[in-house]
Amino acid sequence: DIQMTQSPSSLSASGGDRVTITCRASQSIGRYLNWYQQKLEKAPKLLIYAASNLQSGVPSRFSGSGSGTEFTLTISSLQPEDFATYYCQQSYSTPRTFGQGTKLEIK
């Protein structure tokens, strides 16, 4: 199985801040990496697919980059609705695996 490791596990930030979350894969996955946002007791929502492609309807303050084993999700200017948990997920092979999540909290 491909292990996905996110850092940090939690993060405190203020509105307007620029935030970066990192996801590392245990082996090269090309650009087969997706990012999801999950708010409390809600289903995950796709933000970024194939490492850097913005899903339709997702605000442009979200961006993704990386390839191989290291990826980042950046939120350029935090808005109140962005405080949530973020997960990366590899789609290179089955079993499809997720990172452990990064909880973004209000400072």
Partner 1 sequence: QVQLQESGPGLVKPSGTLSLTCAVSGDSISVNKWWSWVRQPPGKGLEWIGEIYYTGDTNYNPSLKSRVTMSVDTSKNQFSLRLNSVTAADTAVYYCARLLVAPAILFDYWGQGSPVTVSS
Binding of residue 2 to partner 1 (CB under 8 A): no
**CA dist., res. 39 & res. 28, Å (int):** 29
SS3 state of residue 70: strand
| Residue of the chain from 14, 81, 94, 107 that contacts partner 1 (CB under 8 A) | 94
The bridge status of strand 102-106 relative to strand 10-13 is: parallel
Nearest to partner 1 of 14, 94 (CB atom): 94
The pattern of x and - marking residues 36 through 75 that bind partner 1 according to CB under 8 A reads x-x--xxxxxx--xx--x-x--------------------
| Residue of the chain from 23, 25, 32, 37 that contacts partner 1 (CB under 8 A) | 32
Q: Nearest distance from residue 53's CB to partner 1, in Å?
A: 7
Strands in 19-25's sheet, in edge-to-edge order, are 4-7, 19-25, 70-75, 62-67
Binding site for partner 1 (CB under 8 A): 1, 32, 34, 36, 38, 41-46, 49-50, 53, 55, 87, 89, 91, 94-101
